[in-house]
Structure 1
Amino acid sequence: MDFALIGARLAGKFGGDAVPTVPEKGDPFVLVKRERIAEVCRFCREDEALTFNSLHCISGIDYPKDQKLAVVYNLFSFRHRHSVALRVEMPRDGEPHLDSVVAVWPGANWLERETYDMFGIRFDGHPDPRRILLPDDWEGFPLRKDYQVAEMWHGMRIDANYHPPGGPPKE
């Protein structure tokens, strides 16, 4: 099934809460209303025509100019050999959150924890919301574009301009 058919199936089931989107640049995705993400994911897994039995990745995205954050779920069906990206957007301020999908795909456990650590997006209903990459007392969310590296952490100086052997990243 191609993206147009997958998108039409989701839009047919969820209406304006699951909108197929084809941007000028980048890959197509289905924009899902935040409050419906767990329900849409469960349908994606259980619907015979879709059978998205694999959650490959969860990615956070920061859009500071638009004052929003996004979470992208990359799904794959081994039965039908098709894929789709679901995307949820939310305001950047306050405490951004959405429902956990660990009950749909247990492998989402660590992916959601990583997204929290790096972007500060909470997953409501997560069975084990502890940090996974950063220490419990870490302040801030390193993959947000406005993140400021502290000068010191537990008495250790942090050099934000340090680059490993080989030099800084090539632009």
Structure 2
Amino acid sequence: MSQETLDRIAEKITTLHGQDSIKEAKLNFGKPMIIVDSETWNIATAKLLHDDESLQFDFLTCITGVDYEEHMEVIYNFYSTTLDQYLYVKVQTSREEPTVMSADPIWKSADYMERETFDLLGIDFPGHWRLKRILLEDDWEGYPLRKDYITDKKALGLD
């Protein structure tokens, strides 16, 4: 069932955005996973995943951000409550200006998770209704989960 779901998703996204729109599509621990760049992850892709009768990913369970030094990545975990199927979407973006379209207009559960990812990794989410720091002070400098973040270990009592 998962391979069928993966093939169906890959076909629909390829139809929407073209042949090279998916960087990779595979089963990850038995669940469908696709990797796309930030240009492919747009409102049309999100609506497709949410609204298409054969997909119906109505529940965004988790958003995670990762710094791989050569690029940044945002991972979305989706579930269809009506069709009992899962999907992982990895969206790759540059480190210099990390930008990934917000999923908040489609899945309201993205609100807090995108703000947290912005706060700790500095990834911008255009289309988010109120993207601002949520965990750190507004005047905090930098993004603590980035690999290039420099801490003052002595000031933190870690020296």
Question: Normalised by the shorter chain, which TM-score bucket?
Answer: 0.7 to 0.9
Q: Alpha carbons of 1:141 and 1:11: their partners in 2 closer, same or farther (altered >3 Å)?
A: same
2:90 to 87, 90, 94: 87
1:111 offset after TM fit, Å? 0.8
Identity of aligned residues (%): 34
Amino acid in the other structure paired with 1:115:
T
Q: What is the match of residue 71 of structure 2?
A: 68
Unmatched segments (≥5 aa) in structure 2: none
1:35 offset after TM fit, Å? 2.2
SS in 2 for 1:58: strand
2:52 to 36, 47, 55: 47
SS in 2 for 1:73: strand
1:50 offset after TM fit, Å? 0.1
SS in 2 for 1:22: strand
Mapping for residues 108-147 of structure 1, pairs under 5 Å: 108-147=110-149
1:75 offset after TM fit, Å? 0.6
Output the TM-score relative to the length of structure 1.
0.79
Question: RMSD over aligned Cα, in angstroms?
Answer: 2.4
Matched, 1:22 2:20: no
1:11 offset after TM fit, Å? 2.9
Distance (whole Å) between structure 2 residues aligned to residue 5 and residue 160 of structure 1:
50
Distance (whole Å) between structure 2 residues aligned to residue 39 and residue 101 of structure 1:
11
1:158 to 149, 156, 159: 156
Per-residue CA deviation, residues 20-43 of structure 1 (Å, 9 max, x unaligned), is 423899975212231231321111
Amino acid in the other structure paired with 1:130:
K
Output the TM-score relative to the length of structure 2.
0.84
Q: What is the match of residue 109 of structure 2?
A: 107
Distance (whole Å) between structure 2 residues aligned to residue 118 and residue 27 of structure 1:
28
1:14 offset after TM fit, Å? 3.0
Per-residue CA deviation, residues 37-96 of structure 1 (Å, 9 max, x unaligned), is 1321111000000000000111111111xx210111111001111111111111112x31
Task: Count residues with an aligned counterpart.
Answer: 154
Matched, 1:56 2:58: no
Distance (whole Å) between structure 1 residues aligned to residue 72 and residue 28 of structure 2:
20
Per-residue CA deviation, residues 94-137 of structure 1 (Å, 9 max, x unaligned), is x3112111110011111110000111001112111121111111
Distance (whole Å) between structure 2 residues aligned to residue 127 and residue 102 of structure 1:
8
